[in-house]
Amino acid sequence: MSTFSAIGEEREIDRDEYTPGVEPQPTWCPGCGDFSVLKALKQALPEVGRTPEETLLCTGIGCSGKLNSYLDTYGFHTIHGRSLPVARAAKLANPDLEVIAAGGDGDGYGIGGNHFIHTARENHDMTYIVFNNEIFGLTKGQTSPTSPKGHKSKTQPHGSAKEPIKPLSMSLNAGASYVARTAAVNPNQAKEILIEAIEHDGFAHVDFLTQCPTWNKDARQYVPYIDVNESDDYEFDKTDRVEAAEMMRETEESLYEGEVLTGRFYVDEERPSYGAEKQEIGEMPEEPLAERYWDDDYEWERSHDMFLDKHA
């Protein structure tokens, strides 16, 4: 259908296409890890073969939400914590779209935590990138759900008494079929993981460690990372839930002890995506619902002809 002809278009894509014409200057601070996410996405999308016009990027609120302004795709900059419900409905309405959601650690694991769990549980076919800098940045440096225990801030002056959230384990337990962690300081791995995540047919959760040079100078993201998929010290089968869970536990504990382990922690290629499941049980049309509104030949059924006899 020519209505959505940007979808599935096969051509060479220049990464500059993703750069807005009249460049809004990023408001991110110099040295911010968010630049790395932007760069990795601009590299990954052309390699996957997805054009800006078939891509819908849904973001939350905060520094990470600005990603929409600097990556020129179809975009929806939503509200705090709500990028996922907006994104997954768009995917159900038009499964041909490449849907990517992004947000920060406060946005995704705090205020949007409920949506995160349920989107992972349903295994929607989308990519979710969480900019994890262990701090609230745009509101000027408050403790976030991933800040380490004992972290001091204006809102936790005595040091946080809370254990940090374990996003990878949370995601795995909720049902995500692809779980990885990468870091801004490793652009090659970040790009590769994003390519895999976008291509993955299911909910791909990427915890993206991004340094905040302004509000979180102590964070561990500055230390060298170890890629668990490449190091001989970490033998595990990333398709095995139990081994993956064990590796995630190790990763999430060691992060706060100065050792940053990154890589692919869980990959399940077998589990069908939510949209596929819904189609299977007859709760979703085979053709994208959104296309129907543009099909002049489609016959819209009336309640009068379909349902009213049972009321007679």
Please identify, among the stretches 58-66, 126-134, 145-153, 209-217, the one whose residues bind another protein according to the rule CB under 8 A.
58-66
* CA distance readout (Å), 105 to 25, 147, 160, 275: 23, 9, 16, 26
**Does residue 72 bind another protein (CB under 8 A)?**
yes
Q: CA angle, corner 198, sides to 219 and 51, nearest 5?
A: 115
**Does residue 282 bind another protein (CB under 8 A)?**
yes
* CA distance readout (Å), 70 to 65, 73, 98, 203, 268: 10, 9, 18, 24, 32
Question: What's the 3-state SS for 230-295?
Answer: CCCCCCCCCCCHHHHHHHHHHHHHHHHHCCEEEEEEEECCCCCCHHHHHHHCCCCCCCCHHHHCCC
> Which residue, among 152, 151, 149, has the nearest Cα to 164 in the 3D structure?
149
Please identify, among the stretches 28-36, 130-138, 251-259, 284-292, the one whose residues bind another protein according to the rule CB under 8 A.
284-292
Q: Choose which of 14, 16, 20, 163 interacts with another protein (CB under 8 A).
A: 20
Interface positions, 21-50, toward another protein (CB under 8 A)? 21-22, 24
CA distance 18 to 231: 34
Number of residues interacting with another protein: please give it, by CB under 8 A. Answer: 64
Q: Choose which of 16, 114, 218, 231 interacts with another protein (CB under 8 A).
A: 114
For another protein, the closer CB: 161 or 300 = 300
Report the nearest approach of another protein to the CB of residue 20 (Å): 7
Which string of DSSP letters, residue by residue, matches 157-216?
Answer: TT---SPPP-HHHHHHHHT-SEEEEEETT-HHHHHHHHHHHHHSSSEEEEEEE---TTT-
**Does residue 15 bind another protein (CB under 8 A)?**
no
Interface positions, 128-167, toward another protein (CB under 8 A)? none
Q: Choose which of 32, 37, 40, 52 interacts with another protein (CB under 8 A).
A: 52
Q: Choose which of 54, 192, 227, 252 interacts with another protein (CB under 8 A).
A: 54
Report the nearest approach of another protein to the CB of residue 29 (Å): 17
Q: Choose which of 42, 82, 200, 205 interacts with another protein (CB under 8 A).
A: 82
> Which residue, among 113, 118, 202, 124, has the nearest Cα to 166 in the 3D structure?
113
Q: Choose which of 155, 188, 253, 289 interacts with another protein (CB under 8 A).
A: 289
**Does residue 126 bind another protein (CB under 8 A)?**
no
For another protein, the closer CB: 5 or 231 = 5
CA distance 117 to 131: 17
* CA distance readout (Å), 312 to 74, 219, 306, 308: 47, 68, 13, 7
Please identify, among the stretches 66-74, 178-186, 199-207, 221-229, the one whose residues bind another protein according to the rule CB under 8 A.
66-74
CA distance 105 to 127: 15
**Does residue 223 bind another protein (CB under 8 A)?**
no
Interface positions, 177-206, toward another protein (CB under 8 A)? none
**Does residue 272 bind another protein (CB under 8 A)?**
no
219 CB contacts (<8 Å, ≥6 apart)? 133, 134, 135, 211, 212
**Does residue 312 bind another protein (CB under 8 A)?**
yes
- Which residues sit at the interface with another protein, rule CB under 8 A? 2-7, 20-22, 24, 52-54, 56, 58, 61, 66, 68-69, 72-79, 82, 85-94, 96-97, 114-115, 117-118, 278, 282-285, 289-290, 292-294, 300-304, 306-308, 311-312
